C-alpha cells in the first residue's frame, strides 16, 4: 500500500538548510521571547503584590503604634478624632482605605463615611490575639490586599484594630503601568533575534549554496566513498601547513598513522623533499620522491578562492614501475653488452681470418686462443665467485659495457658469495650493484686523462652480513655532499635536478634501508661505497 507524503511535509524536506535553520531560529526566538515576557509579567505581578503588602503592613503598624490612635480609642467619640486623621494619612500614603475599629469590629473610620459605625467585613481573629497579619479579602470596596494590626493599651491588651488596604484594582492598574517597558524590551529582543537569525541564514545560504540537508548528506557520503576508494593518495594541506584531509591510500603510501588530521606536515616523519613540496605555494607536476620503502610520483596544486587556502597533493605509487624500469635498463645493458661482445668478436674473427689468409696459421691460432682464454677467465672468475646468477650476469654485462667505454672493471680476489641471500631478492641486488657500478664508471671516465680509469667491485657474504663494495678512480665525493648523495635529485652530472637524474643513489639508499643495512661513503682517492646488509 502506497503512503502519500503530505505536500507541506514534502516541500519542507526540500527546503534548503539555510531556510530550515531560519525557521528553527525564528521559532526558538519566539518561544524564548514569549517565555521571557511571561516570566517578566509574573515577576512584575509578584513584585507589585509584595510592594502593596509591604506598604499596607507599614502603614497599619505605624498607625497601631501611634499614641494618638490609642488615646482616641478611649475617647467618648473616637470617630470625631480618628476619621480626619485617617483620611489625611490615606491621602498621604496612597492606600485605598484605613479602617480603625474597636475589638468588636465596629468601624470608627472609613473612606465612605456612611459605613462608619457598621461592622468591619473581614477576618480579625489573629489581630485580636495580638498578631499583625495580611490577607486578600473582598470587602465593601471590592477585593483588596489588607493588613490588620492590633492597637495595644498601656497594659498590652488589645484596645482596638487598624485595617489598611489597597484594592486589587489599584494593584492591577500599577501592574499595567509596568507592562509597556516589558513589552518594549521583549519586542526589541524579538526584532534583534529575527534580524540575527536572518543574517545567519543568509550567510549559511551563501556557504551551502542553497543546498538542502538531505542533498548535503548524500554529497558527503558520495565524497567519503570516493575519497576512500580511489587508489591514488590524496592529501589536503591547509595554509598553516597542517593536514586537513588524508585518504586511506595516502596513509598507506606515506606510512602514516590512522588519524593525522590537524597535525603539521613537518611532524609526520616524511623526507624533507616531500615536506617542502607539500607546503610549497608553487605547483608541482610529476615529481619523483623516494621514501624508505617507495618511489612516489607527486603532484601539487594550490587551492585558491579569495586567497590561498592550501594545497591539494596527489600521490601515485611508482615503485613497481621504477623497479620494472630498472630491470628493463639491466636487460638493455645486457643486450648492449652482447652487442659489444658480438662486435668485438667480429673484429677478432676478422683478424684471425686475415692471419690465415696471409699464411700465418700459427699466429692466428695463438691470437684466437689468447682471446678465448681471457674471456673465459673473466667468466669463470665471476661465475665461480658469485653464486647468484642474476648478479653474476649483471657483473659480466657491466664488465663488457665498461670495457667498451675504456674503463677496466675488476673483481677483487676476496669476492666470494657461494650461497644466494634468501631474503635479498635479485631485483634489490641489481638495483644496488647496478647503480653503484654505473655511477663509478661515469666517475672514473671524468679523470681518465690523469689516471687509468678503473672500477673495483667486491661481493662478499658470510654468516652475518652481505658486503658490497664499489670503488672508482674518479674525483671522489666532496665532504659537504656526503649527507646528500642518497637524496633524490643529487647528481654531479649537468642537469642533476631534472627528472631521471639523481635517482639511482636514492634507489640504492631505499633498497639498503629496506633490508636494515647501511651505506658508507669514503674517498681513497676516488669514491668508495660500502654496503653492509645483515643476513638474518
Predicted confidence (pLDDT) per residue in 191-223, tens digit: 777 777 667 766 666 666 655 566 666 666 666
**pLDDT value at residue 338:** 62
Mean pLDDT confidence for 355-367: 73
**pLDDT value at residue 6:** 47
The segment(s) of the chain belonging to CATH 3.30.450.20 are: 21-175, 216-317
User: What are the angstrom distances between the C-alpha of 368 and each of 112, 355, 404?
Assistant: 156, 10, 20
> How many residues comprise the chain?
536
**pLDDT value at residue 331:** 61
- Cell triple for residue 457? 667491485
Instruction: Tell me the pLDDT band of 11, cut-offs 50, 70 and 90.
Output: very low
**pLDDT value at residue 495:** 45
pLDDT at 375 over 70: no
The segment(s) of the chain belonging to CATH 3.30.565.10 are: 386-535
When mean pLDDT is compared across 240-249, 297-306, 483-492, the lowest value belongs to 483-492
Answer with the residue of higher pLDDT: 137 or 262. Answer: 262
Alpha-helical (H) ranges within 209-300 are 213-229, 248-254, 272-279
pLDDT at 260 over 60: yes
387 closest CA partner among 411, 421, 412, 413: 421
**pLDDT value at residue 339:** 67
How far apart are alpha carbons 534 and 461 in whole angstroms?
Answer: 10
The proportion of the chain whose per-residue pLDDT surpasses 70, expressed as a percent, equals 70
Domain 21-175 CATH superfamily = PAS domain (3.30.450.20)
Is this structure's pTM higher than 0.85?
no
**pLDDT value at residue 222:** 65
The proportion of the chain whose per-residue pLDDT surpasses 90, expressed as a percent, equals 1
Answer with the residue of higher pLDDT: 320 or 314. Answer: 314
Average pLDDT value for the chain? 75
How far apart are alpha carbons 181 and 321 in whole angstroms?
Answer: 80
pLDDT at 284 over 60: yes
Largest Cα span, the chain: 183
How far apart are alpha carbons 446 and 123 in whole angstroms?
Answer: 125
Instruction: Tell me the pLDDT band of 336, cut-offs 50, 70 and 90.
Output: low
Instruction: Tell me the pLDDT band of 509, cut-offs 50, 70 and 90.
Output: confident
**pLDDT value at residue 10:** 45
**pLDDT value at residue 326:** 57
Residues in contact with 32: Cβ distance below 8 Å, sequence separation at least 6, in sequence order? 193
Instruction: Tell me the pLDDT band of 5, cut-offs 50, 70 and 90.
Output: very low
Arch. (CATH architecture) of 386-535 = 2-Layer Sandwich (3.30)
Mean pLDDT confidence for 436-465: 87
52 closest CA partner among 165, 137, 162, 163: 165
What number of CA atoms fall less than 13 Å from residue 96's CA on the CB side? Answer: 19
Instruction: Tell me the pLDDT band of 418, cut-offs 50, 70 and 90.
Output: confident
**pLDDT value at residue 75:** 81
**pLDDT value at residue 333:** 58
Mean pLDDT confidence for 258-279: 81
Q: Could you report the per-residue pLDDT of 83-127, keeping only the tens digit for each?
A: 888 888 888 877 888 888 888 888 888 888 888 888 888 888 888
User: What are the angstrom distances between the C-alpha of 95 and each of 73, 170, 286?
Assistant: 22, 9, 94
Answer with the residue of higher pLDDT: 54 or 204. Answer: 54
**pLDDT value at residue 450:** 85
What's the gap between Cα 130 and its chain centre? 76
**pLDDT value at residue 439:** 87
Q: What is the CATH number of domain 216-317?
A: 3.30.450.20
Amino acid at each position: 500500500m502506497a503512503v502519500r507524503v503530505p505536500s507541506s511535509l514534502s516541500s519542507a524536506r526540500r527546503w534548503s538548510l539555510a531556510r530550515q535553520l531560519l525557521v528553527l531560529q525564528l521559532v526558538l526566538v519566539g518561544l524564548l521571547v514569549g517565555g521571557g515576557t511571561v516570566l517578566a509579567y509574573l515577576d512584575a505581578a509578584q513584585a507589585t503584590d509584595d510592594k502593596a503588602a509591604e506598604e499596607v503592613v507599614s502603614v497599619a503598624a505605624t498607625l497601631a503604634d501611634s499614641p494618638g490612635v490609642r488615646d482616641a480609642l478611649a475617647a467618648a467619640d473616637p470617630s470625631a478624632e480618628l476619621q480626619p486623621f485617617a483620611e489625611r494619612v490615606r491621602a498621604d500614603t496612597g492606600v485605598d482605605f484605613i479602617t480603625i475599629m474597636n475589638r468588636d469590629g465596629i468601624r470608627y473610620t472609613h473612606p465612605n463615611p456612611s459605613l462608619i459605625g457598621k461592622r468591619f467585613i473581614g477576618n480579625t481573629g489573629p489581630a485580636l490575639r495580638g498578631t499583625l497579619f495580611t490577607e486578600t479579602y473582598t470587602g465593601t470596596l471590592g477585593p483588596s490586599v489588607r493588613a490588620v494590626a492590633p492597637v495595644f493599651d498601656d497594659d498590652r491588651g488589645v484596645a482596638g484594630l487598624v485595617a489598611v488596604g489597597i484594592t486589587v484594582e489599584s494593584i492591577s492598574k500599577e501592574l499595567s503601568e509596568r507592562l509597556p517597558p516589558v513589552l518594549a524590551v521583549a519586542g526589541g529582543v524579538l526584532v534583534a533575534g529575527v534580524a540575527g537569525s536572518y543574517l545567519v541564514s543568509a550567510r549559511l545560504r551563501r556557504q551551502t549554496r542553497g543546498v538542502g540537508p538531505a542533498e548535503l548528506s548524500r554529497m558527503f557520503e558520495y565524497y567519503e566513498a570516493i575519497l576512500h576508494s580511489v587508489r591514488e593518495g590524496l592529501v589536503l594541506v591547509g595554509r598553516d601547513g597542517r593536514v586537513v584531509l588524508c585518504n586511506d591510500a595516502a596513509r598507506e603510501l606515506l606510512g602514516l598513522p590512522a588519524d593525522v588530521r590537524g597535525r603539521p606536515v613537518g611532524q609526520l616523519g616524511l623526507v624533507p623533499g616531500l615536506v617542502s613540496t607539500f607546503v610549497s605555494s608553487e605547483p608541482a607536476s610529476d615529481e619523483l620522491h623516494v621514501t624508505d620503502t617507495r618511489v612516489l610520483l607527486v603532484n601539487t596544486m594550490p587551492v585558491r578562492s579569495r586567497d590561498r587556502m592550501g594545497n591539494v597533493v596527489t600521490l601515485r605509487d611508482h615503485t613497481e614501475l621504477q623497479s620494472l624500469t630498472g630491470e628493463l635498463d639491466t636487460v638493455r645493458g645486457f643486450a648492449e653488452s652482447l652487442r659489444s661482445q658480438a662486435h668485438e668478436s667480429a673484429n677478432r674473427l676478422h683478424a684471425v681470418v686475415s692471419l690465415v689468409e696471409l699464411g700465418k696459421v700459427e699466429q692466428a691460432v695463438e691470437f684466437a686462443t689468447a682471446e678465448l682464454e681471457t674471456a673465459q677467465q673473466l667468466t669463470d672468475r665471476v661465475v665461480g665467485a658469485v653464486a647468484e646468477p642474476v648478479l653474476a650476469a649483471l657483473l659480466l654485462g657491466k664488465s663488457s659495457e665498461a670495457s667498451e667505454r675504456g674503463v677496466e672493471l675488476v673483481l677483487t680476489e676476496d669476492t666470494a658469495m657461494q650461497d644466494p641471500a634468501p631474503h635479498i631478492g635479485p631485483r634489490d641486488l641489481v638495483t644496488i650493484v647496478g647503480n653503484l657500478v654505473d655511477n663509478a664508471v661515469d666517475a672514473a671516465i671524468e679523470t681518465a686523462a690523469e689516471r687509468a680509469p678503473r672500477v673495483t667491485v667486491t661481493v662478499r657474504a658470510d654468516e652475518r652480513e652481505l658486503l658490497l663494495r664499489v670503488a672508482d678512480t674518479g674525483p671522489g665525493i666532496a665532504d659537504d655532499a656526503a649527507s646528500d648523495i642518497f637524496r633524490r635529485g643529487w647528481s654531479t652530472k649537468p642537469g642533476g635536478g631534472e627528472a631521471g637524474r639523481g635517482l639511482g643513489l636514492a634507489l640504492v639508499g631505499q633498497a639498503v634501508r629496506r633490508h636494515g643495512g647501511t651505506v658508507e661513503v669514503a674517498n681513497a682517492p676516488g669514491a668508495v661505497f660500502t654496503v653492509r646488509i645483515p643476513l638474518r
